[in-house]
Amino acid sequence: MSARVATTFPCPRCGTGIRRVKKPGRLEITCPRCRFLIFDYPRPCVGTIVIKGDDLLVLRRRHRPKRGFLDYPGGFLEANESLEGGARRELREETGLRLGAMDFLGIYWDQYFLKGFGAFPTLNFYWIGRWRAGEPQAADDAASAEWRPLATLGRRGDRLAWKHMRDALRDARAWASRPAQRVTGSRSIDQRPFRSRRTK
Ligand SMILES: [Zn+2]
């Protein structure tokens, strides 16, 4: 099975247009002219779901791809950053908010698409926590920050930017509906096998 979208991007070495066709299990792309080998591994992303009462925080994307769609605060992990540290950094950069203890929510596969580059797989690590103080200020990549009902997000024609958002939403609803609605602290996802940069 080939993906519906095949696009080209310039070879980093010789500039030849390389046709990107996504196929299951294919992790290598070879330039047809200079044979430069590109490894097409998934890229890690980190995000946070912020709960305030019965609402959760969403951002409306300002830029391509998915401009105007709803998204959770998050983005690509930076090199040498801890996963949770990256999630907190993205939340701070995009909304100005800081949370206390967060729970690890889950890991979700998805796909990101860049015009001229094509689709590549992403692995999305999510945390969840309760809002403490401050109004979110949309910044950076977001046009607006909005509190939306946890129970109804995704209905009434809400355009969610990424497929994995519905899975994370399902898990967030389960998390928020637990009898003890308290953060228990992250499970051990961030084992820090490397020296991580301080992000707080
Ligand atoms: Zn080349």
Report the distance separating Cα 186 and Cα 101, nearest Å. Answer: 7
Report the distance separating Cα 170 and Cα 168, nearest Å. Answer: 5
Stated pTM of the model? 0.81
Q: So what's the pLDDT on residue 23?
A: 65
pLDDT in tens, the chain (200 residues): 344 455 678 888 999 988 876 666 666 788 989 999 888 788 999 999 999 999 999 999 888 888 899 999 999 999 999 999 999 999 999 999 999 999 999 999 998 887 767 778 899 999 999 999 999 998 867 789 999 999 999 987 899 999 999 999 999 999 999 876 556 655 556 544 444 344 44
CA of 47 to the centre of ligand 1 (A): 35
Report the distance separating Cα 152 and Cα 142, nearest Å. Answer: 21
Instruction: Pull the structure tokens for residue 142.
Output: 């977001």
CA of 22 to the centre of ligand 1 (A): 19
The full set of domains in the chain, from first to last, is: 6-39 (no CATH), 43-176 (3.90.79.10)
Ion ligand 1: protein residues whose beta carbon lies under 5 Å: 11, 13-14, 16, 31, 33-34, 36
Q: So what's the pLDDT on residue 2?
A: 40
CA of 2 to the centre of ligand 1 (A): 23
Paired sense of beta strands 55-61 and 43-52, if any: antiparallel
Report the distance separating Cα 113 and Cα 120, nearest Å. Answer: 7
CA of 33 to the centre of ligand 1 (A): 5
Amino acid occupying residue 169: L
Q: What three-state secondary structure class fits 84?
A: helix
Q: What is the pLDDT of residues 86-111, one digit of tens each?
A: 999 999 999 999 999 999 999 999 98
Q: So what's the pLDDT on residue 176?
A: 92
Mapping DSSP onto H, E and C, the string for 118-179 reads EEEEEEEEEEEEECCCCCCCCCCCEEEEEEEECCCCCCCCCCECCCHHHHHHHHHHHHHCCC
